[in-house]
Amino acid sequence: MEPLKVGLIGLGTVASGVASVLSKNQADIIRRITRTPIIEKVFVRTLERENPYQLNLTTDIDEIINNHDIDIVIELIGGIEPALTYIKTALTNGKSVITANKELIALHGNELLRLAEENKVFLRFEASVAGGIPILKTLREGLAANQIDSVMGIINGTSNYILTEMTDKGTDFSECLKEAQALGYAEADPTFDIKGIDAAHKLTILASTAFGMPLQFDTMHIEGIDTITKEDITISRQEGFAIKHLGIARRSEQGVELRVQPTLVPLTHAFANVNGVLNGVFIQGNAVGEQFLSGRGAGSEATASAVIADLIEIIHNQQTQYSAPALGYKVNNLSPLSILPKSAFNAGYYIHFKYDDNADSQALLAQLKSLATDQLHTSFKIKLYNENQRVIVVCEKTIEESVENLLNSAMLIEGIEETKLIRIERF
């Protein structure tokens, strides 16, 4: 049988991992697809670079996306352009495409999926979410009999590493960020990671796959971890919670919540033990109940594992003339769903009120307790942390608008200098 000729776009960390895994696991892969996968060409920006696997490099992208001998294109350069143009050209030319580009799929995936369907080829992107964890295939196929009620995840290793270090060492955010950068866990410009944008791209893909809705990045509520202090972490643990950066997609009769945010999770929940650069995803299905997957969310070979799994799936699809659509539904069967505004979020809340040096803490406690009783419309406990100059309220589920009203009222009290809310998920 003819070898399977693959064209790689890019030769960075993940692409090198693809070459490594294809080489060392070649025998098993051939047994699965009955064809020998060969990296025929690799597009790079310059030929003056390391090439440890002695691959056939080119600086001419047409040798891949317009090459009739290439069967499948794997895009691993990231970003929007020129990756978008390259993928569109490859799909139009009848080539199936695999990508790990979460930003591109979150922002342009609807267009690309339609183009793939029109040209009767496949677009796959398992590696775009949670690295080596096969979460998209789990949602798309393994849980296809379920209505998915919610999917939540620790899906950015950088932010999880920083929060873990802040927790374990009692150090502040800026110090842990510098450490993450020194170790290569954070970029020189960490904005996408610490501000939650990377996680929001991934949650967009998770939500669409879980709920059968079009990709809708622009409706996401996004909060980063750069506002979290070591005092927040210390007090949260005293209250029985760990702080994790979660992506949350939840469906109800009122609509869909799409949010990326720092979140308090019980110390007894599996999320509390997903530490360092690991990822974890929690799913609730109406037939299967609760499912939890965790593992390496990034890294050369972990991500390559997902890329090559997509490669094997595409070959099986071509051989059997059957495939599960990339989001679990054909493009025309995706259903737009109403996205809830932030004011309608329904959650538990950790609320802190920081007071100044001259404030009467006991008087503030009494005033805040009265305000919370009037405005939260749910049960709560309130506690004074004199050593941190904070009053902490932990409340059960309520509508966020009620919490916002409480925060606005509290800022009118003399002596209150700062307020903050962190949402709680109790599962």
The verdict on whether omega for the bond into residue 52 sits within 30 degrees of 0, i.e. cis, is: no
Q: pTM, whole model, 2 decimals?
A: 0.95
Structure tokens at 128: 């775009």
Q: Residues with Cβ < 8 Å from 205, sequence gap 6 or more?
A: 102, 105, 106, 109, 125, 128, 129, 136, 215
Instruction: Please state which CATH class domain 135-296 belongs to.
Output: alpha beta
Question: Annotated binding site, which residues?
Answer: 102, 187
416: left (phi over 0), alpha (psi -120 to 50) or beta: beta
The answer to whether residues 122 and 94 touch, using CB atoms and an 8 Å cutoff, is: no
pLDDT at 324: 76
pLDDT at 49: 85
Mean pLDDT of 192-212: 98
Which residue type sits at 230? Answer: K
Which of the four pLDDT bands, split at 50, 70 and 90, describes residue 332? Answer: confident
- In whole numbers, what is the pLDDT of the chain averaged over residues? 95
Question: Which of 23-32, 153-162, 296-305 has the highest average model confidence (pLDDT)?
Answer: 153-162
Q: How many CB atoms lie within 10 A of CB 266?
A: 16
pLDDT digits (tens, 9 = 90+) for 55-111: 999 999 999 999 999 999 999 999 999 999 999 999 999 999 999 999 999 999 999
Which of the four pLDDT bands, split at 50, 70 and 90, describes residue 328? Answer: confident
Q: Over 70: is that where the pLDDT of 248 sits?
A: yes
The answer to whether residues 241 and 425 touch, using CB atoms and an 8 Å cutoff, is: no
Instruction: Please state which CATH class domain 4-131+300-332 belongs to.
Output: alpha beta
Q: Over 80: is that where the pLDDT of 377 sits?
A: yes
Q: Which of 133-137, 322-326, 343-347, 416-420 has the lowest mean pLDDT?
A: 322-326
pLDDT at 40: 96
Q: Over 70: is that where the pLDDT of 288 sits?
A: yes
3-state secondary structure of 1: coil
3-state secondary structure of 382: strand
DSSP 141: I
pLDDT at 280: 98
Question: Annotated binding site for L-homoserine, which residues?
Answer: 187
- Judge whether 195 counts as a catalytic residue: no
Q: Over 90: is that where the pLDDT of 306 sits?
A: yes
pLDDT digits (tens, 9 = 90+) for 15-53: 999 999 999 999 999 999 888 899 999 999 999 888 888
Q: Would you tell me the crossing angle of helices 400-410 and 361-375 to the nearest 10 degrees?
A: 150
pLDDT at 325: 82
Question: Annotated binding site for NADPH, which residues?
Answer: 102
Nearest to 172 by CA among 245, 224, 222, 227: 227
Nearest to 158 by CA among 138, 135, 183: 183
Pairing between strand 72-75 and 4-9? parallel
Q: Over 70: is that where the pLDDT of 322 sits?
A: no
- Which CATH number is associated with domain 343-424? 3.30.70.1150
Q: Which of 120, 202, 383, 397 is catalytic?
A: 202
Q: How far is CA 157 from CA 95, 198, 246, 312, in A?
A: 32, 10, 11, 27
Q: Decide if 4-131+300-332 and 135-296 have a common fold.
A: no
pLDDT at 363: 95
pLDDT at 247: 98
pLDDT digits (tens, 9 = 90+) for 394-410: 999 999 999 999 999 99
Report the percent of the chain where pLDDT is more than 90.
89
Structure tokens at 37: 């996968």
Mean pLDDT of 141-159: 97
Kind and range of the H or E run holding 43: strand 37-43
Domain positions in the chain: 4-131+300-332, 135-296, 343-424
